[in-house]
Structure 1
Amino acid sequence: MTQCRLCGSTDLAGVVDLGATPPCERFLTADQLEEPEITYPLHLQVCTSCWLAQIPPLITPEDTFTEYAYFSSYSTSWVEHARTFVADAVERLRPSFVVEVASNDGYLLQHVVERGIRCLGIEPSANVGQAAVDKGVPTRTDFLSPETGASVRAEHGPADLVVANNVYAHIPDVIGFTQGLRNLVADDGWVSIEVQHLLTLIELNQYDTIYHEHFQYYTVASAQRALASGGLALVDVELVPTHGGSIRLWAQPAEVAGEPGPRVIDVLDREKAAGLHELSGYTEFAERVAGVRRDLLRFLVDAAAEGKTVVGYGAPGKGNTLLNHCGVRPDLLAYTVDRNPYKHGRFTPGMRIPILPPEQIGADRPDYVLVLPWNLRDELVDQLSYIREWGGRLVFPIPTLEIVS
C-alpha cells in the first residue's frame, strides 16, 4: 500500500505483518478441500500524517458480503447489547425514523420494530438480510455509498438516528461511506457508530481482529478525521466493552454540531498518553504478537505430547486470523464448534479445521476447549460451565494465554 485512503499521504509505517491468509469468512465445504485457496498479505500499517491504521484493500466488500457467514443474533450478549442501546437511544432522542447500515439479521432493528418506530436496514448480504426480513425488519439489500444514502433519503425521508455498528472498519472507501451516512441523516439528526478501539487492540494484544474485512482500525483521533471527511463532526464518545473494547461515536452534521464533549477530550488524552498519535505507540506491538503465538503453540504442542485432547469453541473471523498466523492445524486442534448452523460441516479457511455443532463437546468430553471468540468471555464461561463435570478447562489465547477451570 503506497497511499493512505483517508488523507492521501504516502508516509505509511509498518505495525505488524501477519503473513498471508485466506479471507476469514470463506469457510470451505468438504468438496473444496482438494482445491487451492487464495491467500492475501495481512500487513497492518499506520499513516504517520493522519494516524489511520489500515491494511491494503486486497479484497472488495463485494467479494465478502454478497453472501456472508456471520449472523449477529447467535450471540446472546450482542443482542442484549443492541436492545439496551435501542432503549437508551429511543428514550434520549425520540426518533421517528431509524436507519441501520450493515443491519445484518435484524439483531438491533427488531427492538426498534417492537417499539412501533419506523425503521429500515441497509444490508449488503442477501442471505443475512433475508433473516431480518423474516423477523419483520424492513431491509434493503445494498452497500452504502453517497448515492445509496441519497436514494434512501429521497424515498423514505431523512433519518433522525443512523446506526452503523461494526461496519466503519469494513469499508475501503471511508470517505464515500461517511458521505453516505451524511446523506441518510437529518440535518439535525444523529449518527451512532461502534467500532473496535485501536487503543485496546494494541494494549491487549488483540491482533486477531486484524483481517481482510477490516480495512482500517480507529483511534478517536483518526475517527474524528474520517467523520469530518464526509461532513460529520464528532460530538461525544462512549467506551463500551464489546469486541474486547470499542468506541461508540456520536456525530452530527458539521453545520449543527457543537464542540466535542469532555469524554472526547478525555479519550484523546488517553490515546496521546499511549503514544498512538505518534509512531512510538506502535513499535513494540509486533513482538508482543509473536509472544502470543509462541505461548499458544507451546501449550498446544505440550498438550498433544501429553495425550490431551483440545478442541475449539467458535468459528469467528478473528479465530481464523489466529489459527492461520499460528499455523494451528487439526493435529493440534481436532475441531471447533459453532452455534451457527451455516458453518456446520464446513472447514475453517487456511487451516481447514472441521466445524461441528456445539453438542459435540459434551459427546467427546475433551480436556481443553480453546475459546476463539474471547470477546464473549462472560457469555461463554457460563455456556461452557458444564465441561467442569469431567474436569475440562477453558483456554483463552488473548491478551495472554490463560487456562481456567
Structure 2
Amino acid sequence: MTRCRLCGSTALESVVDLGATPPCESFLAAERLDEPEPAYPLHLRVCTDCWLAQIPPLITPEETFSEYAYFSSYSSSWVEHARVFVEDAAARLGLGEDSFVVEVASNDGYLLRHVVDRGVRCLGVEPSVNVGAAAREAGVPTHTAFLSPETGAEVRAEHGPADLVVANNVYAHIPDVIGFTKGLRALVADDGWVSIEVQHLLTLIEENQYDTIYHEHFQYYTVASAIRALAGGGLTLVDVELLPTHGGSLRLWARPDEAAGEPSRRVSDVLAREKAAGLQELSGYTEFSARVAKVRRDLLRFLVEAAEEGKTVVGYGAPGKGNTLLNHCGIRPDLLPYTVDRNPYKHGRYTPGTRIPILPPERIAADRPDYVLVLPWNLRAELVEQLAYVHEWGGRLVFPIPELSIVEVER
C-alpha cells in the first residue's frame, strides 16, 4: 500500500501489524478442512496528511459480500437500536406516508422493517444475495446491488429521490470512498438527509478494540477524516452523535452541500476531543501496538493457565471481530474446543484460520463449562443477561477487550 485512498498522499505510517489472516467471514464447511486457506496481511496504517486510518484493499467487496454470513436480526439489541433510530429519525425529519427512505447495506431488513411498520415507503440496497432474500421474505423491498454513483442514479430514476438515506456500518467497508459517497449523493434528495453510522477511531484506539480491524473494514474514521470523505462526494457534515454501539460509533448526519448550512456545536466538540487525543498527529497512535500486544499476552496466559488447571473454556459468538482476535492470538481448539452462535448459518462450520467448530448455543448448558469467552464483547450488556444461566453451575464469563475481565453472573 503506497497511497492513501482518500487524499492520495504517500505519507502512510504504521499503527499496528496483526500479521496475515484469512477473511474474517470466510467460515469453513467441514468438507473444506483439508483445503488450504488464503491469508492476507492485516496492517493498519494512518495517513499523516488527512489522518484516515486504513488497511490495503487486498480483498474486494464482491468477494466478501456477494454471499454473507452476518444477519443483523440475530442481535436483539441491534434490532432495538434500529427501532429507536427509525422512531427518532421520523420525528426529527418529519417522515410520513409521502416520504421515501433508502438504506444502503440493508442486510436482512433489520432496520427497514421498522420503516415498513410506520407505513413509510422504503427500499433496501443490499449486495448480498442471501441476506437480501431474507429481507424480502420479511416484507422489506430490497434491490440487490453494490452502491456506486451509477446504481444510485438508477435507483433515484426508478423510485425518486430519498428524503433519508441510511448507511449503517458500511462506510468502512468500501475501498472506493469517494465513489460510494457520490452514490449516496445520487440517492438523496437535494434537500434530504444522509445518516451514517461507523465505528469511531477514537474509541478503537483508546479502548484497544483492535479486533475490529479486519479485511472487510478498509478504513477507520475520525470526524475529521469523515468530513473530508463526505466532501469528496458532495455532502457536508452538519451534526454528529456519539453512540455506544460496536464499542463506540459515530452517527454522522450529512446533507447535500447546497442544503447543509452551518454544522452543529457537537461537530466542533468531537473534533476538539479527537485533537486532544492526539489523533491529528502521529503521537496519538504510537502506543497502540504495545497495548494490543498486552491484550494478546493476557488472553493467552489465561487460556493456558485454565488448561493446566483442568478448567474448561468455550466461546460464545463467532463474529468477524472474534476471528481477528483468535488468529492474532493463535488460539485453536486445544485452548478453545468450540464456540457457539445464534446464527444457524454458521452451525457445523469452522472459524477461518483457527478452525474452531461453531455449534448451537444450547451446547453451553449441556457441557457446563467453567468459563465462557465472549467474542462479541461489544454486546456485553445483552450477553451478560442472555448468559446468566451459566451461574447455575458456577460458570463465569470472560471478556478479552478492552482488557481481560472475568465476570461473575447472577440471575
With normalisation by structure 2, the TM-score equals 0.98
Identity, % of aligned pairs? 83
Match of 1:378 among 378, 381, 393: 381
User: Which residue in the other structure is 2:315 paired with?
Assistant: 312
Whether 1:119 and 2:122 are equivalent positions in the alignment is yes
User: Which residue in the other structure is 2:7 paired with?
Assistant: 7
User: Which residue in the other structure is 2:93 paired with?
Assistant: 93
Whether 1:28 and 2:31 are equivalent positions in the alignment is no
TM superposition shift of 1:258: 1.1
Amino acid at match of 2:236: A
Deviation per CA, 1:341-382: give whole Å up to 9, x if none. 000000000000000000000000000000000000000000
Amino acid at match of 2:80: E
TM superposition shift of 1:176: 0.1
* Count of residues in Structure 1 that have an aligned counterpart in Structure 2: 405
CA distance in 1, matches of 2:346, 2:50: 39
Whether 1:83 and 2:83 are equivalent positions in the alignment is yes
User: Which residue in the other structure is 1:270 paired with?
Assistant: 273
TM superposition shift of 1:259: 1.6
TM superposition shift of 1:94: 2.0
TM superposition shift of 1:120: 0.2
Structure 1 spans left out of the alignment, 5+ residues: none
Amino acid at match of 2:63: D
TM superposition shift of 1:231: 0.3
Any idea what SS the aligned residue of 2:259 has? coil
User: Which residue in the other structure is 1:400 paired with?
Assistant: 403
CA distance in 1, matches of 2:92, 2:241: 15
CA distance in 1, matches of 2:13, 2:27: 32
Any idea what SS the aligned residue of 1:275 has? coil
Match of 1:238 among 223, 238, 241: 241
Match of 2:229 among 226, 229, 232: 226
Residues 126-275 of structure 1: matches in 2 within 5 Å?
126-275=129-278
CA distance in 2, matches of 1:110, 1:126: 18
Deviation per CA, 1:13-62: give whole Å up to 9, x if none. 00000000000000000000000000000000000000000000000000
CA distance in 2, matches of 1:310, 1:73: 27
Amino acid at match of 1:342: Y
With normalisation by structure 1, the TM-score equals 1.00
CA distance in 2, matches of 1:351, 1:130: 30
CA distance in 2, matches of 1:228, 1:340: 38
Q: RMSD across aligned C-alpha pairs, in angstroms?
A: 0.4
Any idea what SS the aligned residue of 2:196 has? strand
CA distance in 1, matches of 2:94, 2:148: 26
Give runs of ≥4 in structure 1 deviating > 3 Å: none
Deviation per CA, 1:93-123: give whole Å up to 9, x if none. 1230000000000000000000110000000
CA distance in 1, matches of 2:293, 2:242: 28
**Farther-moved stretch of structure 1 (239-248 vs 87-96):** 87-96
Amino acid at match of 1:128: V
CA distance in 2, matches of 1:69, 1:154: 31
Amino acid at match of 2:38: I
Structure 2 spans left out of the alignment, 5+ residues: none
Match of 1:391 among 373, 389, 394: 394
CA distance in 2, matches of 1:58, 1:167: 17
CA distance in 2, matches of 1:329, 1:139: 39
Amino acid at match of 1:72: S
Any idea what SS the aligned residue of 1:255 has? helix
Any idea what SS the aligned residue of 2:208 has? coil
TM superposition shift of 1:237: 0.1
Residues 305-344 of structure 1: matches in 2 within 5 Å?
305-344=308-347
